[in-house]
Amino acid sequence: MHTVDWIVVGAYLVWIVWDGLRRTKDADKVEGYFLANRSLPWWAVGLSVMATQLSAITLVGTTGQGYADGMRFVQFYFGLPVAMIILSVTLVPFFYRARVYTAYEYLEKRFDLKTRTLASILFLLSRGMSCGVIIAAPAVILSIMLGWNLTLTILAIGLPTVLYTMVGGVQAVTWTDVKQMAVIVGGLVAAVAALILGLPSDVSVADALHVAGAAGRMNTVDFTFDVRQTYTFWSGLLGGLFLMLSYFGCDQSQVQRYLTAKSVDEGRHSLLMSAFFKIPLQALVLLAGVLVFVFYLFNQPPMLFNRVHAETIERSGRASDYRALEAEFAQAFEVRRSASSALASAEGDEQRAQARASFLAANNELKAVRARAAGLVREIAGDERYRDFTGDTPGPDVNYVFPTFVTTRLPVGLVGLMIAAIFAAAMSSIAAELNSLATASVIDIYRRILRPAKTDAHYLVVSKLATAFWGIFACVVAVFAAGLGSLIEVVNRFGSFFYGSLLGVFVLALVFRRATGHGAFVGLLAGMALVATVAFHPSTRSISFLWHNPIGVVGVVVAGLAVSNLTPRRSGAS
Amino acid sequence: MSDSDDTRSSPDMRRLYALAIACEVVVIAALWAVKRLFS
């Protein structure tokens, strides 16, 4: 990396840590530390909500998804605006009126302590592990792309975040999130501009999008109803709706963002900001990926984007086979480049249809060579994940597409800005998660169960220690998770078991007056068991994970109501 | 913006909800138009 890029990344880190450390206003009391005394403006909270959701995995993975599979992933967010409105009408005013610190505190007010504690522990387990994954995923990619030491990369992302989150609490998290969103959006816009300027002089943006469309990259809306397909209009609108309701309504890392707003209406406004801007923002991220695809139609891409495997094969006895494949790939690329130019300049329906057919044939040839390279990876490196393809790219390579483009094709300065944007995306999510993990640990477990009657100063010290503990825990998990691809999947799976079921408990709380604490507790366990069964049973395994959320809700409500009918309602439940 | 302990949304908030839905419909229609235009 060029010195200028190092300076840009270094300046970003210093700026964010300095800004976070000086945001300690009101952080001398527990309510100020965790909720900023409910005093923050809606626009800052709204940007914090968006920054928390947009992790580095989203930034890097979604651009890769755009490259390999096109715009269809945007449908994943179609349920989000409706979810935000439902939450603004239902949970947000309830949380405010109950004056809670955590979403799970509300469950004790409505049901009982054991339901609150179970929900909080599930959150702590799930988010504690996923926080490590959020650090590990970009650290692995950056360390491979830039040749950095993996552990040092994890520490470079994790330690500054832990420092300012521990010292400044939620104020530091929110105000750094605002700046980090600016870095992320600024970097993205600059990357899109560089991609457009990098098109060949005889290819307009419209021509480029026509070629991308011919390769199936502009499939933005698909009205097919098929539960096995992950990204369709219906799975996004219905399955995505439940996922977003769970994430924004029951996940403390998001609930805590809008609990810091000045009033109920400001909390609602902060959520509605995502309703207005999330889909366009994700479309921009995906468009960046589609433009990278177009860029690599006219400039030769690497055969495999994750260069670690290429290096492993180079050192093996099959190096000559791999080099022969690379020569074949270069040839296939030249054929596709000519076909792409012909398609971009084609006029009239007949000429366009012919050019399109030639382009698709050339693209398939290139994919076939890549598939053989993926076969070598499986054989030599033993990485079985190279059996799956996303579009025409091996699945595990998808996350390396955008970083490869950034580090090898962007001009000096912009490389640093994009690396800073990846850091910003990771740090904003991690900070919010550490802050919420500390809140749930202290408020739901320590203050409620372990040490109930201590002073505010005591809880403040414990809160800072809890933030530091979760930060160190996340870094340790990240170091281990980095070497275990399957662990990342396990963590994500666990989250999906838990999300729909937790939403089901809140549905029981708000909609069904006769639901009891025993019903909610048993319902939560039954819902998780049902989702796990659906996810692993051979006959239902093909159902896309987005549908697990509504299944979890239904499981909890049905089991919860059945048990509630058999048990007496707790007196004093509100 | 008004602050209230009332859990019901004010008319201003309800108008904002309607605007958010209208905005989503327009965005999805625009995405669909992009697909029709370039696929």
DSSP secondary structure string for all residues of A32-93: HHHHGGG-B-HHHHHHHHHHHH--HHHHHHHHHHHHHHGGGGGGGGTTHHHHHHHHHHTHHH
Q: What is the rounded distance in angstroms from the CA atom of residue A242 to the CA atom of residue A248?
A: 10
How many angstroms separate the CA of residue A319 from the nearest CA in chain B?
40
Query: Cβ contact (<8 Å) for B21 and A81?
Result: yes
Which is higher by pLDDT, A423 or A138? A423
- Contact list in A for residue B10 (CB cut-off 8 A) is 265
State residue A157's pLDDT score: 92
State residue B5's pLDDT score: 52
- Contact list in B for residue A97 (CB cut-off 8 A) is 5, 7
State residue A385's pLDDT score: 80
Model confidence at A485: pLDDT above 70: no
Yes or no: say if A9 and A423 are a contact pair by the CB < 8 Å rule. Answer: yes
Model confidence at B4: pLDDT above 60: no
Average the pLDDT over A60-78 and give the result: 91
pLDDT band at A418 (very low <50, low <70, confident <90, very high): very high
**pLDDT tens, position by position, A337-386:** 999 999 988 888 888 899 999 999 999 999 999 999 999 888 888 888 88
Mean pLDDT lowest among A135-144, A151-160, A273-282: A135-144
How many angstroms separate the CA of residue A213 from the nearest CA in chain B?
4
State residue A507's pLDDT score: 93
**pLDDT tens, position by position, A182-233:** 999 999 999 999 999 989 888 899 999 999 999 889 999 999 888 777 789 9
Which residues have a Cβ under 8 Å from the Cβ of A346 and sit 6 or more positions away? A352, A354, A355, A356
Residues 85-114 of chain A whose Cβ lies under 8 A from any Cβ of chain B: 85, 88-89, 93-94, 96-97
Mean pLDDT lowest among A103-112, A480-489, B27-36: A480-489
State residue B3's pLDDT score: 44
Q: Is A66's Cβ below 8 Å from some Cβ in B?
A: no
pLDDT band at A140 (very low <50, low <70, confident <90, very high): confident
State residue A225's pLDDT score: 86
- Contact list in A for residue B15 (CB cut-off 8 A) is none
Average the pLDDT over A244-260 and give the result: 93
Mean pLDDT lowest among A166-175, A277-286, A305-314, A516-525: A305-314
Interface ipTM: 0.89
Q: Which of A79-88, A316-325, A342-351 has the highest mean pLDDT?
A: A79-88
- Contact list in A for residue B6 (CB cut-off 8 A) is 93
Yes or no: say if A366 and A332 are a contact pair by the CB < 8 Å rule. Answer: yes
State residue A130's pLDDT score: 86
State residue A543's pLDDT score: 83
How many angstroms separate the CA of residue B27 from the nearest CA in chain A?
8
Tokens of residue A79, six digits? 């349920």
Average the pLDDT over A129-153 and give the result: 86
Query: Cβ contact (<8 Å) for B31 and A210?
Result: no
Query: Cβ contact (<8 Å) for B34 and A220?
Result: yes
Among A38, A39, A89, A232, the strongest candidate for a mutation testing the B interface, having the largest count of B CBs within 10 A, is A89
Mean pLDDT of chain A: 90
Q: Is A299's Cβ below 8 Å from some Cβ in B?
A: no
CB nearest B35 (choices: A84, A219, A279) = A219
State residue A55's pLDDT score: 87
* Residues of B contacting chain A (CB within 8 angstroms): 1-10, 13, 16-17, 20-21, 23-24, 27-28, 31-32, 34-35, 37-39
CB nearest B39 (choices: A219, A263, A269) = A219
State residue A499's pLDDT score: 83
Considering all CA atoms of chain B, what is the largest pairwise distance in Å, rounded to the nearest integer? 51
Query: Cβ contact (<8 Å) for B28 and A85?
Result: no
**pLDDT tens, position by position, A1-43:** 899 999 999 999 999 999 999 987 777 899 999 999 999 999 9
pTM here is 0.90
pLDDT band at B2 (very low <50, low <70, confident <90, very high): very low
> What is the b/e burial string over A285-322, where b = at least 16 CB atoms within 10 angstroms of the residue's CB?
bbbbbbbbbbbbbbeebbbbbbeebbebbeeeebeebb
State residue B6's pLDDT score: 61
